[in-house]
Structure 1
Amino acid sequence: MGIRPDDLDATRSVIAARELTATASGYLTTDVAMGLPFEALGPFKTALKRFFSTEPWNEADTDALSELIVPRLAGGWWEHDLGAGITLAYGIRDGRFELWVTGAATPVVSIFDRVFDGPVIPEATPHPRKVKFTTGGTPAPGVWHRRSDRQPDDVRVQRVFAEPYVTDVMVAGDFVTVGIGAKEPWERRLEPLLALVTELFADPDAVQVASERTRDGLLAEARSRSEHRPEELHLLDPDDPDDRSRLLDALEDSDVRVRRVAVAVLLESRDGDVRHDAATRGAADPSRVVRRTAIDAAADTEEEHFRALFEGALGDDDAWIRWKAVRSLGALGLASSMRRVEALADDPDFQVRFEVAKVLREDG
């Protein structure tokens, strides 16, 4: 790769959308960061986070990164294939550090663009980390389970959660949906999940026929439904503008189940402002079920900017929320939250008192 790619900005966005940032950052860590002094690691990590996002990246950003790297890197040029036709390249060129990506226009073949001939048919959904498995049976409302919920009574769901990369499961009358972690590729996970779902949920009397509609058609259909149903909402992509609008509207729905799903899915967005707004609104919801989901999902992000949210949750009238807030602050490091946590040492709930003692001991 000899010159700056014309599709650099488009490819940056594609890398973020396809969740290839961790892979790209891993290469840069090995080739570049390992040779940087400690004081340069923070600014380098911040620059990479901005580069591999939808945020603007201009010449001034390139200059600042180059000034950070060039005095500390002897030289070299690296190129890596990130998959999906995308190439990452970086190194010293003409006395400057260049960071390039290209390949946004390369056609991508989806793992779902093939024929499945078993009794269970997997379908892509608008949400990039969730798949819908059509199992047969009689349509019925779904029950959504998150990994952090209490252990489900359904032993089949317990079996699915035995796979450590599974984040959530919905079981409806005629389909099952499964979500996987952000760093998990469907190319590795779809086949074993399809086998497991087939074993556990397939209707032996149902005759499945693979849909003749295209993947894009299936996604468009899923997005076209205007009603706020948990079975549809939890499959939406929080980073698609139209899907995000539907999810934000759902935060005002009268149905607690709908608001809970909307909060959890919005907190899976790559946009920090969206995550923060969803958590803030969810934590203020009159339903403790929604508040619990907001605090729990915010804790999963392990982000410092939720510290104030967790501090506010220490005063919730629900003991589980107070317990989770204490644990979350402990995970972040108590720091400025120390006195607020200490104030719960005499909390009426034993689990809260136990967690307070634990995090104070670990922090001290």
Structure 2
Amino acid sequence: EHRLIKDDMADQPSVTQQFTQGILQSAQRAGIALPDSLLARLPGDGRTPLALQDEVWEAYCHASQDPLVGIRLGLSLHVGHLDLVGMLLMSCETLGEALDMLVEYHPIVGEGGDFSLEFHGTRCHLVYSPHYTRCRRERVEAVMACVLNLARWVSGGTFEGCHVQFVSEPSAAPETYQSLLAVDVLFGRQNDALCFSESLQATPLIQANAAMRDHLLRLADAILAGLDSASLSAQVQQLLRQHPRWGKERVAEQLGLSGRHLVRKLQDEGTSFRLLRASVLQHLSEQCLRDGGTIAQTAERLGFSDESAFVKAFKRWSGTTPAQFRVAMSDP
């Protein structure tokens, strides 16, 4: 029975144990006692299922009563909390190479979101797109604070971001964010991103080691292959990215499952087809709008019955209309 439980956990989207330990250590430093019943369910080795990580975050945020708990946690994380990926990023030769590695191998740290690189003139945006909804603001703030801190650390303190931007509104005075992060912070933007000059990609890293990087890459490829085959949620999202018009039954058929079986297995992973589809469609629609697609073209591409239905869905996902999103996107 114990083996079956572990096998079930292996099939769920997950987070490396080191990242979970970072949260627990931060709670301990802050004098926060998380429920024993929750701690007892955390795996002693391997990875933490994303659904269980959701509970850890909720318990931590509720107990801390600190609106900036995510920022403080992110700044307290170090390379070791990022598992193999932290060492891989450290061994890269330039910041640009490290960013490419982060985009490719971040699921090893956690499968709760995706990174992508976007270029806007002379600026580069490292965009983070979370898949979770529970404690979204705190978790995104933790991720962005951690990435900013890591960029400064691996570059020997020479990295200077233009700004950090968040989709959410501030939970405390904006100047407090800027004081903690030591960079300009913008709120209510179209995505969560770390923004900096494209020229900084050539920044040499202080612990570059090509031989170590190549060795770690082989290990990372093996781990990533195992994660890709394990997560049903990841497979569903990949199919939806390729075929945004597909519904639950068509996706289930492609995966060799019945619609009902797909629903049950996704529930076991702590998610649902509706949430996964909404996440994928939001990402695709935002990308289409950024690439210059009209609202009508975007609605057609994603399979909406008409433009009005798409506008309502987009506002439900992001809290803003496609037209407002395009205006915000054009802001500097």
Whether TM-score is above 0.5 comes out as: no
More helix by proportion, 1 or 2?
2
Structure whose CA Rg is larger:
1
TM norm structure 1: 0.24
TM norm structure 2: 0.26
User: Which of the pair has the greater relative contact order for Cα pairs under 8 Å at 6+ separation?
Assistant: 2
